[in-house]
């Protein structure tokens, strides 16, 4: 029972993470637009998240081996949260670009940590079913996240 509860807790954590990621992916360009940032810079800053994610995916195996699942996930979640809060402290597109790169790396670390964790926790015979549920929940949550923007002022969210 404990193993099942742990697996559902991981899947729920990723679903919450994906909702937040979807919300941030909408709020960042809207906030930059409200700041009067040129459209080409808005697109560039939005693309920097993917750059950070790729960098994180490249470096995550070494970080996971060095720190372990729980510590890597906790540190990456803390960095992502601090970055989101930091966006409200300095309304400067260059700063937002750096934060989005760091958040991309952190999201890659969190996903690597969770997927590794699930790979260790789930028996071989049910791994396909659990990973299917995991990915379905994660993608549905990512699609739901942007809907939380409705009615919000982008700069007041940061």
Mean of the per-residue pLDDT values of the chain: 89
**Is residue 155 included in any domain, yes or no?**
no
**Is residue 67 included in any domain, yes or no?**
yes
What does the pLDDT look like over 119-152, one tens digit per residue?
A: 888 888 888 888 898 999 999 998 888 888 877 6
Task: State which residues form the domain around 53.
Answer: 2-150
What does the pLDDT look like over 71-105, one tens digit per residue?
A: 999 999 999 999 999 988 888 889 999 999 999 99
How many domains, in total, are found in the chain? 1
CA of 91: how far to CAs of 23, 54, 71, 96, in Å? 18, 26, 31, 8
What does the pLDDT look like over 51-72, one tens digit per residue?
A: 999 999 999 999 999 999 999 9
Q: What is the pLDDT of residue 90?
A: 86
Q: pLDDT tier at 27 (50, 70, 90 boundaries)?
A: confident
List Cβ<8 Å contacts ≥24 apart for 71-74.
Answer: 72/109, 72/110, 72/112, 72/113, 73/109, 73/110, 73/113, 73/114, 73/117
pLDDT of 1 over the 50 cut: no
CATH code, 76: 1.20.1250.20
Q: pLDDT tier at 3 (50, 70, 90 boundaries)?
A: low
Predicted model pTM: 0.88
**Is residue 156 included in any domain, yes or no?**
no
**Is residue 63 included in any domain, yes or no?**
yes
**Is residue 158 included in any domain, yes or no?**
no
**Is residue 31 included in any domain, yes or no?**
yes
**Is residue 129 included in any domain, yes or no?**
yes
């Amino acid at each position: 029972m404990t193993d099942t509860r742990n697996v559902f807790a991981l899947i729920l954590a990723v679903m919450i993470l994906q909702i937040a990621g979807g919300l941030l992916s909408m709020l960042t360009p809207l906030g930059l637009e409200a700041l009067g940032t040129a459209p080409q810079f808005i697109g560039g800053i939005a693309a920097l998240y993917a750059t950070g994610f790729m960098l994180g995916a490249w470096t995550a195996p070494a970080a996971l081996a060095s720190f372990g699942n729980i510590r890597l996930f906790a540190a990456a979640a803390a960095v992502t949260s601090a970055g989101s809060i930091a966006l409200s402290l300095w309304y400067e597109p260059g700063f937002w670009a750096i934060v989005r790169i760091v958040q991309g790396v952190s999201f890659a670390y969190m996903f690597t940590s969770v997927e590794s964790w699930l790979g260790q926790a789930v028996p071989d015979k049910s791994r396909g079913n659990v990973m299917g549920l995991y990915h379905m929940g994660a993608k549905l949550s990512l699609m739901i996240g942007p809907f939380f923007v409705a009615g919000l002022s982008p700069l007041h969210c940061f």
